[in-house]
Structure 1
């Protein structure tokens, strides 16, 4: 059987080559920290909930992939997968490794996906909906008594972030899985379910608990058996083995007060503290993957090989990372470590941008480079179809 995706040219993908060619230089331009001003004080690090505001590049390195239909027209890497030994909180800058010890970013580099994991958990839930196992409108307590504190909460509330639950809880501070489950189940919604949207990790942790309860299988097996293995996503998994570490992009020098744990440079294990406490398998974070594997996932969603319900799990109309594609019906998601995916169901185009923006430390990163890459893809789609096709030999 022919592979679902192949590397090809922009004309073969129906994309304007000049616009796609702008993406990589744009990423190269954000790889270096701002130059220090002579005589100026070191950058402040007052807000350690997000990290330093300056003295830090947008990312150490990135992998970008763009395509349309069955053709991947762009798949390139820039910068470094591992650049820093540590973070110096006094200067607000990373302590760089010697050049010989740095690891360059490569197209096949594996990334901690962070919240892109939510898309896989949501897709696993939608698979159970389509199989008739779950009803998104049925109260969760009808499936699992005691799963949530408010008996009105449904799966749709979880997957649309309208459950009323707060964004997160310090579950990593609790001693074991039973204590974490009890704390999650006791959490009361702030507004009642359905009243407003508040993005929350807790929603996907509860989705994980529901899936595991109704199927009797752990989340990592559900995702492997139902999504990654059938699609041939061989570089996607929770809790990657030690021999994957040389292929994985490093994340953060995780220490208090900016981090919630004192772990040093995180490299090869999940960055998210709650997922780390759950042995790396969590509904909201924990998956590791490559840009090519995510392209396989995107293609499967766009072609119907996987069920796609855009309002369940996926973000919609988010120009801050989708650029102009947000106004065309695009869907997607971002991850705290610097990952993002954008799908345009109307054209069949997809954009994957994986960056280690938290290496060597979390910071107020913004999403300008993501939005600019999406803008290039939007313009590449907007060229007259005749002119693009004329370039095909």
Structure 2
């Protein structure tokens, strides 16, 4: 989506945006999505917002199990810190495993007394989550009038406008639609920082700008140079003055000092370049070769610091009385500019609606980012929730596999802890297994069925309303609503003497699930079945009654 320049300008100059009242009945609910930001005074604190602890504890236990060796002979990751928050309440913050566990690339384990356990304040190399810090700095420069996102980058960095890049806009860099290739081996093929930056400036697009989505580190390296040029200050100083100092993030920044080394999680044992076990320096070779400060990587942080940044986003750009972005700017950063590329929804910096790591928290409004070192941030404005999983999955080797199942487990745990409350009565029907059926008995004279439905499913999953005679069934309605998080009233004609609901689990990542409530079947003479009064009239195979 290419937003017209006037619309972008309007969004950046608006002065109001709705916030919720202090007493919010949506707290703890998945089925009451918010449309505005959280109250600007919301701060992270320990509390109990009424969530179901069982899914959270199950997710935390799953993360712990991932630190144990599996069929591969090694764990998914050496250690992790998980932080979950809802409506400002930190409902879980748990370290598990080891910040330092191995001595070499082969996975030789250190003696237990030489290992370093994970702690709440362990500092992680955020890898590509660093891109969010760069994007925020870019938008701060937009607010100051130094940059316009709809303008060519070459307007600010003339040396960038070569080899077919003259018309690439700032927006295209932020949304990865510039056409630039994913990366270049800067550390390997160019001898120093100036030549490496020049290599990025000289790059030729692989595809016509604006015609495809290609995730590229070069986009953010360029933006790091852009903000330096327009502001006169280097990127690390802009991040410090514009983000970490006003928000009070003491453990967030580039090139952490040696005094904090004992709290930093180790990453990879690298032989090319010959860096040995990397700890306290950025893992990404290109960022390392650029002095540890680059637009695409280099930021270190803790789970708590990152949660404050996430809450700042939920608050519309402010935290503890310190504003780093206008509400309208945050809204713009969370607006999908990539509607032409539906699998790659992207705001100005933030990824959007990526179920592969956002799990059941995913929706068109859900924002976040991941990092190659094993880091994950999910910010869900609809439920005002935060899911953070920081791991050192590349310790000691990047070749030990993906941590995406752990990412989804954490997001799913928080999503399932949030309630889906029945619309009528004390409970609603929800399926527990694929192929589950919920069927009425014979209903002579039935003409119409009506019911409330809540549906949040992944692509490939299905929930279908059918009517028939008990032997032959016909699909009447496919229940939809993925990402909307709202109950809807469904009405359909009955063709036969019975009605049933069928749930089928696909091969995707799943969602929050399906709920059916307030079932009523009517005929020419009035109500034939009121399932709220007579739930026993339904035959449930793989469905159960639930109160949340």
TM-score band w.r.t. shorter chain: 0.7 to 0.9
Post-superposition shift, 1:365? Answer: 1.6
Residue pair 1:328, 1:344 contacting (<8 A) in 2 also: no
Q: Which residue of 2 aligns with 1:39?
A: none
1:375 aligns with 2:412: yes
| Structure 1 stretch displaced more, 327-336 or 95-104 | 327-336
1:20 to 56, 60, 66: 56
Q: Is the 8 A contact 2:177 2:211 kept in 1?
A: yes
Kept in 2, the 8 Å contact 1:353–1:370? The answer is yes
Partner of 1:156: 171
SS of equivalent residue, structure 1 residue 359: coil
TM-score by length of 1: 0.87
Q: What corresponds to 1:44 in structure 2?
A: none
Counterpart Cα distance in 2 of 1:159 and 1:56: 37
Q: Which moved more, 1:341-350 or 1:17-26?
A: 17-26
For structure 2, the residue ranges without an aligned partner over 5 or more in a row are: 1-40, 319-324, 335-346, 427-548
Residue 33, structure 1, aligned to residue 69, structure 2: yes
For residues 235 and 182 of structure 1, what CA distance do their matches in structure 2 show? 31
Q: Secondary structure at the match of 1:327?
A: coil
Between the aligned partners of 2:251 and 2:292, the Cα distance in structure 1 is 16
C-alpha contact 1:252 1:359 (8 A) present in aligned 2: yes
Q: Does residue 70 of structure 1 match 2:70? A: no
2:46 aligns to what? 7
Q: 1:312 to 1:385 in 2, by over 3 A?
A: farther
- Cα distance, 1:157 vs. partner? 0.4
- Residue matched to 1:362: 398
2:150 pairs with one of 137, 156, 162: 137
The CA distance in 1 between the partners of 2:73 and 2:267, in whole Å, is: 17
Q: Is 1:297 aligned with 2:312? A: no
Q: SS where residue 362 of structure 2 aligns?
A: helix
Which has more strand, going by share of residues? 2
Of residues 329, 339, 351, the one that matches 2:375 is 339
Change (3 A) 1:169 1:148: farther
| Conserved? CA contact 1:62–1:80, under 8 Å | yes
The equivalent residue for 1:318 is 354
The answer on 1:212 being equivalent to 2:228 is yes
> Which residue in 2 is equivalent to 1:51?
none
CA distance, structure 2, for counterparts of residue 254 and residue 221 of structure 1: 29
Please say if residues 124 and 300 of structure 2, whose CA atoms lie closer than 8 Å, have aligned partners that are also in contact. yes
Contact 2:252 2:302 in 1 (8 A): yes
Cα distance, 1:131 vs structure 2: 2.4
The CA deviation string for residues 25-46 of structure 1, in whole angstroms up to 9 with x for no partner, is 01011112225xxxxxxxxxxx
The CA deviation string for residues 289-320 of structure 1, in whole angstroms up to 9 with x for no partner, is: 00000010000011012342121111112111
* Structure 1: runs of 5 or more not aligned: 36-53, 89-93, 388-393
| Number of residue pairs matched by the alignment | 356
Decide whether aligned partners of structure 1 residues 110 and 159 sit closer, same or farther in structure 2, where only a CA change above 3 A counts.
Answer: same
User: What TM-score comes out, normalization by structure 2 length?
Assistant: 0.63
The separation in 1 between residues aligned to 2:89 and 2:374, in whole angstroms, is 25
Distance 2:406 2:43 in 1: 28
Q: 1:351 aligns with which of 387, 395, 398?
A: 387
Residue matched to 1:226 = 242
2:176 & 2:415 partners in 1: Cα distance? 28
Equivalents in 2 of 1:30, 1:183: separation in Å? 40
SS at match of 2:246: coil
Following superposition, the deviation at residue 4 of structure 1 comes to 2.4
Shift of 1:212: 0.4
1:169/1:332 CA distance change after superposition, 3 Å: same
Q: Distance in 1 between matches of 2:157 and 2:194?
A: 15
Cα distance in 2 for partners of 1:383, 1:269 equals 44
Greater helix percent: which structure?
1
Query: In 2, Cα distance between the equivalents of 1:15 and 1:225?
Result: 36
Whether the 8 Å contact between 1:148 and 1:187 is mirrored in structure 2 is: no
Distance 1:3 1:347, change over 3 A: closer
Q: CA RMSD in A?
A: 1.7
Question: Which of the pair has the greater relative contact order for Cα pairs under 8 Å at 6+ separation?
Answer: 1
Q: CA deviation at 1:272?
A: 0.4
2:275 equivalent in structure 1: 263
Which is worse superposed, 216-225 or 64-73?
64-73
- 1:40 aligns with none
Q: For residue 328 of structure 1, report the CA deviation from its aligned partner.
A: 5.4
Structure 2 residue 277 is matched with structure 1 residue 277: no
Partner residue, 1:101 = 114
Q: Which residue of 1 aligns with 2:124?
A: 111
- Alignment partners' CA distance in 2, 1:31 and 1:161: 33
Local SS of the residue matching 2:293:
coil
